[in-house]
Amino acid sequence: MVPEQTLYTKLTANEILPEVREHLIALKDAYREVERHRADVAHKAHTNGGDPKGSRWADFSEQVDSELEWFNTRSIVIKDIEQGLIDFPAIINGEQVLLCWKDPEPSVAYWHTNQAGFAGRRPL
């Protein structure tokens, strides 16, 4: 069974934005660590050697998964982790669209259609 999607308004998206920022920071930090350790882990895998960095990589990978799940359970879509590009599903004029926020914007103030993407952002 597919969970029901949460739909946001400008108000509800902005109300949850402080939590989104906190989780995005945690996600970015863990993601950077995964990327940083990836080459090291790949090298060690070829030599069949153990490495505590591999364990750290696994820990950070689990943290990335956990943060992504936080966003997923709230129907919040991460378009780009590094840029902090986030979409909130919404309905405008009877059409399903996405409210758009990019870190460090002060609030959710734009929207776009699913097809237009970030380039088609319009003010709310």
**How many folded domains does the chain comprise?**
1
Q: Which two tokens stand for residue 117?
A: 């993407």
pLDDT at 50: 57
Q: Residue 4 — pLDDT band, cuts 50, 70, 90?
A: confident
Contacts of residue 114, Cβ cutoff 8 Å, sequence gap at least 6: 96, 97, 98
pTM: 0.85
Give the Cα separation of 107 and 24 in Å (integer): 15
Residue 1 lies in a domain: no
* pLDDT tens, residue by residue, 33-71: 888 877 666 666 656 555 555 577 788 889 999 999 999
Q: Which domain holds residue 25?
A: 10-123
Residue 3 lies in a domain: no
Q: Which two tokens stand for residue 86?
A: 């986030």
Residue 2 lies in a domain: no
In this structure, of 17-26, 44-53, 82-91, 110-119, the range with the lowest mean pLDDT score is 44-53
